[in-house]
Amino acid sequence: MLNLIWLIPLLPMLGFLVNALGVWRVRDDAQRERLAGYIASGAVVLSFLVALVAFFQLGALPGEERRAGVVLWEWMGTGRFHIPFGFLFDPLSAVMVLLVTGVSSIIHIYSIGYMHGDSRVVRYFAYLNLFVAMMLCLVMADNLLLLFLGWEGVGLCSFLLIGHWYDKKEGNFGRGVATPAAAKAFIVNRIGDAAMLLAMMALFFQFETLTFFHEGAGFLETAEHMQVSSIVSFLLLIGVTGKSAQIPLFVWLPDAMAGPTPVSALIHAATMVTAGVYLIARTHVIFTDATLGWVTWVGAITALLAATAAVAQMDIKKVLAYSTVSQLGYMVAAAGMGAYAVAIFHLLTHGVFKALLFLGSGSVIHGTHETQDMRKMGGLRRHMPVTYWTYLVGAGALAGIFPLAGFWSKDEILAHAWTEGQFLIFVILVVASLATAFYMGRQIAMVFWGNQRDHTYHAHESGQMMTIPLIVLAVGSLLAGAMNLPGRHALTHWLEPVLHTHPHEFGVANWVLAMVMTLLAVGSAFVGWRYYTTNEVKIDAKVKDPLYHYTGDLWELLEEAWFFDAFYEKMAVVPGFRSLAAFLATVFDKEGIDGAVNGVGQFFTHLSSQVRSFQSGYMRTYALVFLVGVIVVVGYF
Amino acid sequence: MPVFFQISDVPRLLPELLLLVLALLVLGSDMFERWGEDEESRFERVRAAGSLTAIGLGLIFLITLLQSGYVYRLPADAPQNFFLTIVRNLQNGGPVGDPVVGSFATDHLTMIGRLVLIGAAFLVSLLTLDYRPANNPGEFYALILLSTMGMCLMAAATELITAYLSVELTSIPLYILAGYFQTNTRQSSEAGMKYFLFGALSSGLILYGMSLVFGFAVASIPGGAQANDMTQFLRIAQATATEGAAASKLLTLGMLFIIAGVGYKVAVIPFHSWSPDVYEGSLTPITAFLSTASKAAGFLLLYRILVTAFPNLTGTAEIVSGFGGWTSLLAVLAVATVVLGNLAALPQRNLKRLLAWSSIAHAGFVIMALMAWASPYASTRSMGTSALIYYLVVYTVTNIGAFGALAVASMTVGGDTMEHLRGLARRNLGLATLLAIFVLSLAGIPPMGGFLAKFYIFMAAWQSGAWWVVMTGVVTTMIGLYYYLLILKATFIEEPASTEPVPMPTWMNATLITSAVLVLLLGVFPNLVLTTIDQVKVVAGM
Amino acid sequence: MIDSVPLEWVLLVAAALFCVGLYGALARRNAIGILMGVELMLNSVNINLVAFWRYLEPHQVTGLVFAIFIITVAAVEAAVGLAMIIAIYRSWQTVNVDAVDSMKG
């Protein structure tokens, strides 16, 4: 089976092609919808099975030989420049592939229920399949260029899927309008991608190859005995901040929630956004100490800021979005401290429980007829028991409560910060985890407890197609911690050939830390839950949050996620127009200005109008430009 | 040593000769047939001339492909029979030997150039098949063919007079074509005039440069007065290698004038100003031809002149160690071109104009490939060569597709602006998807060919130390993405003005699908052409 | 006779002519005027070539042949150009290039 690993990304790709070229021609609506769903899900499930078999075969090999590679064809080969189109299946790829295919299978099945009756369902499943194929290409690539292909591909699919409901002029709540959000996600991501491109150039300049492993000649192998410039890893870090939604490029992820909820679960929680963490782990050899310091701080600060921002959100999905940003911050911080295996561990558990939470929120949204504002919910635990209980498991896992999955992985990150002596980082992460427990308590209270505050809808439990995936994921969230239990460290040992990290000694201090952290998390979650259940009468869409009473204007700071968006808007717009106050006014008056993207757009539009003024239509102006060009060219020497 | 034309050289010029014959055939068959005056027979007349051109170009393309031996090479021990002898004779005229009478090289560069240019002309002639009837279609197609012939000669020229004549042979038919049939005669005649006047101006410049370079070569080579081959690029290179050549103002001035003149042909800033207006005013398939084949030919000529005639004046592209030579000049032009070109494209609402500015920006990317000559290493330089040619191939296919899709849209929807294209996806999903493929390729999104082409060029430029040029390139690619996304947004996301389905003319459809498949193939299996392109470095300038 | 007029002088005359032609091409509004300017530029090139031939390689023909080609092509160009100007006049009723500005931006 190890020779057939190319089947893993190929199957979803075939699913995409069949849906895109064939299924949409089916005339009957119901039949078309069913066919699209089954084909897409079938392709991903098959791919999961192949991955599973390959995984066990890989496990049967002795530790140091666990690396299977298949080169399908030489992608680009000319002169010194050789890039294979090849896939790599080693312990790191294997766990990523299992996560991606596993979670995708569940989400595909869930989507069959969730997207029932949607008019563009074929397109939805086609894009979803394409996404899975691209994501698998990303995690299985055996060179950086192919990884970049997947990296761009998932970005494109994310763009297409966020914009799925493009005809929704207004989001349910907040600013989540599909089209600008999609464009914003794409463009912000491209800033990171540009850095990635430059990193590849610099890497090739030094190593003359972009292949990871190639019988000792891959750049990850030679880099071990070479001094690599910090610029390369720093550029990669910028790429990571784009894709994995870290400061300063995280602004796109909360807006990306305009897409369908299963998409948020798959792309914006479990898989695509973790690509950055995967990239750091994969290329950790070339990260210098200087860059790793940056990585740690970027991760830790993101974790804290996003966790606090999540406290002040009213949209059920926005809470989860900021929570995702924050958890990604944990992973990046862990990677920055050199604990790559722990980062991957948290990535895996987070993939499971965050998918669960998103699907749960999708079930809530579905059951309340497209309500996303938590202030309009309340008391749903009576109407949707399965969703409630599974959501509780997910929330507990996220908050880090023993013995759920999140507890084990988050605790390891904290323990690592502690033993590495990074006390400031440790404190930041602890505060962030308190905020995490608090906002989950708050969310549970607002959504499921108390009484229903808005009676315009009749809440009901979702169908089996949606609840069964929830239960599966809930079981996963219960058990996922087992893969890297302290003492055994199965995952760390499994990843050791790739990541070269060794498990920490497990001492008394860890026990103390674990117990303290659980107590703190439970306490914090309880406070959040208690506060919002007792103050339930004050929750109203027309007035401020009950907590506003204590925090004052700080609340707005949190609500707007520390004003990053507004800052970009200003930064991008102001320098160009300071002299043109009137123009500024028209810019801000314009309808639908959306954060940095339009700001940047306006800025460049202004610049380009300067360029255009030379293009006056008059022949003689052109001739003059031509002549000035010649004179400049001649005078240049 | 005098070199004479021999009869065995005829097969080496076969593609050009065939193009000439085809042009005369198209012209004659149109002229000597008696055509009716009603709408039906006018349409018939266009179809007759158009399909003859298309079939002929297709055949010439295949013959050239066979002659080049890239796809199939006759083994030495193949049996002797009628057909195989023909093939053998054809392939004997393949990419081998010294330039014919010192003026036309028939090397790999020429061969690949011919394939690209004839291929482009073929696709363009297919695009025109579904167009409304023209007056005198025979002339129209003959002009396309003659221009193509000029382009092939541009790619092959190794001597100043030939280079100049081929530039004129390319340009003069294009001036007429730019002003050719349009319902809006005001616009098309304006386009034709602007194109012509600039062309005339630039041929003045290019000639002045050539005369200076020629004078310098005659004066500086010992015994130059006794030789009659002083206009050959190799002799000029010899002259530039003499002592004090680098300091000679005469030589540098000549070279700069030549660069400026060819810069007009490929539309790099600041020699670009004619192009948006001409592109907008011309018939869309002709715009496609102008922006691809004519540009590609210009780049091939620029490449050959710079690399074979001025290899000793390359200079460096590093910003710190000081400027000098043509690479540093081109670096500045490239930066100006990508920045201004992309900026000017941003606010365009007319898609033809938008694509015109985007073609200008792309010319800047191609120029970056020539940065590789700033490096003294042969391997980097050959990387630059393959990157340049690969980019030209991908860009030609992509841009023909993009303009072709636009031609279909404007023909069936009634206009070229964003407003006209709104909601195209819901009126004709296939057309919108094809347009999306081309636009994404232009934007440089993998796995389209455009991505690898850009990546490869950046790679080559970076290797030569021109990292600041590459940085600009990468950043402006981001700006470019914005307006390409605007096209996708208009077609896929916005509400259509009417829900009436848009029909898809047969031949245009075929052209677009061919181009789209090629764009994808070039992105996923670039080695199909890269291995061929790699052979170029063996001859040109090394 | 040759020795009495150095090559540089001839080149200077050609350069001056080139500049006059360029100025004409840029400053005239009449399309025909621009065309005439361009012709002057081409003639300066011819003077250059013929001078190089006469002074540097009087026993060869390269410069002469080049000049003859240029004269021929210039005639072709003028023919096409005049036809184009007539086309402009038909649809715009003017040959003033500043008035022909329907496309810009």
Please report whether residue C104 resides in a domain. Answer: no
User: Is the distance from CB of A619 to CB of C97 less than 8 angstroms?
Assistant: yes
In contact, B186 and C88? CB cutoff 8 Å: no
Asked which of A86-90, A493-497, A539-543 is least confident by mean pLDDT, the reply is: A539-543
Q: Which of A218-227, B263-272, B456-465, B500-509 has the lowest mean pLDDT?
A: A218-227
- B269 at A interface, C-beta within 8 A: yes
Residue A170 banded pLDDT, cuts 50, 70, 90? very low
Contact flag C102-B353 (C-beta cutoff 8 Å): no
The whole-angstrom distance between residue B519's C-alpha and the CA centroid of its chain comes to 16
Count of the separate structural domains present in chain C: 1
Chain A and chain B share a number of CB contacts under 8 A equal to 157
- Give the global pTM: 0.89
Average the pLDDT over A397-420 and give the result: 87
* Domains contained in chain B, number: 1
pLDDT category of residue A590 using cuts at 50, 70 and 90? very low
Confidence of residue C2 (pLDDT cuts 50, 70, 90): low
In a domain, B198, yes or no: no
Lowest mean pLDDT among A104-113, A396-405, B179-188, B472-481: B179-188
Interior CA angle at A16 toward A10 and A18, to 5°?
100
- Asked if the Cβ–Cβ distance from B175 to C84 is below 8 Å, we say yes
pLDDT band at A42 (very low <50, low <70, confident <90, very high): very high
Q: Is residue A44's pLDDT more than 50?
A: yes
Q: Which amino acid type is present at position A356? A: L
Helix (H) or strand (E) holding A77: strand A68-78
Q: How far does the CA of residue B191 sit from the closest CA of chain A (Å)?
A: 11
- Residue A596 banded pLDDT, cuts 50, 70, 90: very low
Asked whether A245 and A324 are in contact (CB, 8 A), the reply is yes
Q: Does residue B119 have a pLDDT over 50?
A: yes
pLDDT band for position A498 (cuts 50, 70, 90): confident
B contact test, residue of C26, C80, C101 with most B CBs within 10 A: C80
Measured between its terminal Cα atoms, the distance across chain B in Å is 22
Least confident of A160-169, A391-400, B105-114, B363-372: A160-169
Which residues between 345 and 384 in chain B have a beta carbon less than 8 angstroms from any beta carbon of chain C? Answer: 347-348, 353
- Is A637 within 8 Å of B485 when comparing Cβ atoms? no
Q: Is B468 exposed, middle or buried (0-12, 13-18, 19+ CB in 10 A)?
A: middle
Q: Is residue C42 included in any domain, yes or no?
A: yes
Nearest to B218 among C18, C56, C97 (CB): C56
Label residue A595 by pLDDT band (50, 70, 90): very low
Range C49-58 average pLDDT: 89
With respect to residue C100, please indicate whether it lies within any of the assigned structural domains: no
- Partner-chain contact B168 C76, CB within 8 Å: yes
Q: Give the residue with greater pLDDT, B37 vs A8.
A: A8
Among the partner-chain residues C22, C27, C101, the one whose CB lies closest to the CB of A618 is C101
User: A382 pLDDT exceeds 80?
Assistant: yes
- DSSP codes joined into one string, B291-349: IIIIHHHHHHHHHHIIIII-GGG-----SSS---HHHHHHHHHHHHHHHHHHHHHTT--
Chain A, window 600-629: residues with a beta carbon less than 8 angstroms from a chain B beta carbon: 600-601, 604-605, 607-609, 611-612, 614-615, 617, 619, 621-623, 625-626, 628-629
Confidence band of C81 (pLDDT split at 50, 70, 90): very high
Nearest to B388 by CA among B216, B155, B198, B218: B155
> DSSP per residue over A16-38, as a string?
HHIIIIIGGG---HHHHHHHHHH
Q: Is the pLDDT of residue A607 over 70?
A: no
Predicted local confidence at residue A204, as pLDDT:
87
Q: Render pLDDT for A298-330 as a digit per residue (tens, 0 to 9).
A: 999 999 999 988 888 888 888 899 999 999 999
pLDDT score at B541 = 41
Supply the ipTM of this predicted assembly.
0.95
Which member of C31, C52, C87 has the closest CB to residue B218?
Answer: C52
- Give the tens place of pLDDT for each residue, B322-333: 556 788 888 888
Residue C36: inside a domain, yes or no?
yes
Q: Per the domain annotation, does C45 fall within a domain?
A: yes
Confidence of residue A584 (pLDDT cuts 50, 70, 90): very low
| Cα gap A596→A590, rounded to integer Å | 14
Query: Per mean pLDDT, which range of A240-244, A281-285, A512-516, B470-474 is the poorest?
Result: A512-516
Q: What is the mean pLDDT of residues C22-51?
A: 91
- Cα→Cα distances A291→A234, A238, A281, A298, A572, Å: 6, 11, 14, 10, 27
Which residues in chain A are closer than 8 Å to B492, comparing Cβ atoms?
A: 163, 166
C71 in a structural domain = yes
pLDDT band at A634 (very low <50, low <70, confident <90, very high): low
Distances (CA, A) of B76 to B11, B73, B84, B92, B168: 19, 9, 11, 11, 40
Q: Name the helix (H) or strand (E) containing A145.
A: helix A144-162
Q: Give the confidence band of A576 by pLDDT, cuts at 50, 70, 90.
A: very low
Minimal C-alpha gap between B31 and chain A (Å): 36
> Residues B504, B511: contact at Cβ < 8 Å?
no
A107 contacts A37 by C-beta, under 8 angstroms: no
Percent of chain A exceeding pLDDT 70 equals 88
Q: Under a CB-based contact definition with an 8 Å cutoff, are residues A97 and A140 in contact?
A: yes
- The more confidently predicted of residues B20 and B493 is B20
Check CB contact under 8 Å for C57 and B172.
no
- Kind and range of the H or E run holding A292: helix A289-311
pLDDT of residue B317: 63
CB A48, CB A101: distance < 8 Å? yes
Residue A7 or residue B2, greater confidence = A7
Q: Is the pLDDT of residue A182 over 80?
A: no
How far apart are alpha carbons A544 and A396 in whole angstroms? 27
A623: nearest CB among C25, C103, C105: C25
| Residue given tokens 């921002």 in the structure block | A309
Is residue B366 in some structural domain?
Answer: yes
Residue A374: per-residue pLDDT: 82
Q: Using alpha carbons, select from A247, A248, A486, A230 the residue that is nearest to residue A345.
A: A486
Within-domain flag for B57: no
The whole-number pLDDT of residue A169 equals 47
Give the H/E segment covering residue A74.
Answer: strand A68-78
- Predicted confidence (pLDDT) at residue B123 exceeds the cutoff of 70: yes
Tell me B133's DSSP state.
P
Is B136 within the bounds of a domain?
A: no
Cross-chain Cβ contact C61/B228 below 8 Å: yes
Query: Is B53 a residue whose pLDDT tops 60?
Result: yes
Which domain covers residue B329, as residue numbers?
Answer: 315-542
pLDDT band at A174 (very low <50, low <70, confident <90, very high): very low
**pLDDT attached to residue A384:** 87
The structure tokens listed for A206 are 């030094």
Neighbours of chain B (3+ CB pairs under 8 A): A, C
**Beta bridge partner(s), residue B157:** B104
Mean pLDDT, residues A126-148 taken together: 92
The CATH number covering residue C36 comes to: 1.10.287.3510
CA-based end-to-end distance of chain C? 56
Q: Is residue B337 part of a domain?
A: yes
Of residues A210 and A565, more confidently modeled: A210
Rounded average pLDDT over A57-81: 83
Average pLDDT for chain A? 82
Structure tokens at A530: 């208690």
At residue B540 the predicted structure's pLDDT band, cuts being 50, 70 and 90, is very low
Per the prediction, chain B carries an average pLDDT of: 86
Which has more confidence, B320 or C10? Answer: C10
Chain B window 42-81: which residues touch C at a Cβ cutoff of 8 Å? none
Say yes or no for a CB contact (<8 Å) between A619 and C25. no
Print burial letters for B63-90: b (CB count within 10 Å at least 16), e (below 16). Answer: ebbbbbbbeeebeeeeeeeeeeeebeeb
Would you say residue A589 has pLDDT above 60?
no
Q: Determine phi and psi for A88, rounding to 5 degrees.
A: -125, 135
Is residue B499 helix, strand or coil?
coil
Does C51 fall in a domain? Answer: yes
Chains that touch C (3 or more CB pairs under 8 A): A, B
Q: How many CA atoms lie within 13 A of C79 on its CB side?
A: 8
Is residue A166 very low, low, confident or very high in pLDDT (cuts 50, 70, 90)?
low
Q: Residue C101 and residue A627: Cβ atoms within 8 Å?
A: no
User: Which pLDDT belongs to residue A593?
Assistant: 31
Residues C41-65, buried b or exposed e (16+ Cβ, 10 A)?
A: bbbbbbbbbbbbbebbbeebebbbe
How would you class A82 by CB atoms within 10 Å of its CB: exposed for 0-12, middle for 13-18, buried for 19 or more? middle
* Residue C105 located in a structural domain: no
Mean pLDDT of C77-85: 92
At B390, the pLDDT band (50, 70, 90 cuts) reads very high
- Answer whether residue A550 shows pLDDT above 80: no
Structural domain of C71: 7-92
Query: Over 80: is that where the pLDDT of A611 sits?
Result: no
Whether B469 is in a domain gets the answer yes
pLDDT value at residue B168: 95
What's the rounded Cα separation, in Å, for the pair B41 and B44? 5
Residue A570: what pLDDT? 59
Q: Is the pLDDT of residue A142 over 70?
A: yes
